[in-house]
Amino acid sequence: MIAIIDYGMGNLHSVSSAVERLGYAYRITSDEKELFEADGAILPGVGAFGDAMEHLREAKLDDAVKRYAESGKPLLGICLGMQLLFSSDEEHGHHEGLGLLPGRVVRFTGDYKVPHMGWNKLSFRQPSPLFRDLEEGHVYFVHSYHALCRSRRPICWRRRIITNR
């Protein structure tokens, strides 16, 4: 069973529909006991980093997510949920994250429009069980921030925490 963590800032319907379509049993939960009973967990997220961390703390899920990740079970952060796994974020000021991945989330800079919106080619740089049956191709992006890993690698891995970019 997959736990989809509900802390009040995730697109729970879209994530649960995707998990269901893949044929996995899931439970949307904000209960720590149910989280630890799961074989894997998804931390979704939509919105601003600071607000999301506040919601996680208020729901008493920040420490639970950290302990879950340390248990060795797989944890997938999607969109803002992936950003929350990092040490800090600079959206609307400086905010501390969960600190599960070394690095920070920063705003895109350069000679292109931010927020970055549009079709871009997706290419896989590291093997992942998430991409096993997927082909590289074009996907639609809407984002203004990216993870800057301390290791300077485009995708960070630590234990069995899987992140998207």
Q: What's the average pLDDT block by block, 10 residues per block, for the chain (165 residues)?
A: 95 94 95 96 94 96 96 93 94 93 88 84 77 80 82 46 40
pLDDT of residue 113: 83
* pLDDT value for 163: 41
* pLDDT for res 141: 79
Look-up of token digits 């000021």:
93
**Predicted local distance difference test score (pLDDT) of residue 161:** 42
Distance from C-alpha of 13 to C-alpha of 48, rounded to nearest angstrom: 19
Give the residue carrying structure tokens 């601003």. Answer: 48
What pTM, to 2 d.p., does this model score?
A: 0.82
3-state helix/strand/coil string of the chain: CEEEECCCCCCHHHHHHHHHHCCCCEEEECCHHHHHHCCEEEECCCCCHHHHHHHHHHCCCHHHHHHHHHCCCCEEECCHHHHHCEEEECCCCCEECCCCEEEEEEECCCCCCCCEEEEEEECCCCCCHHHCCCCCEEEEEEECEEEEECCCCCCCCECCEEECC
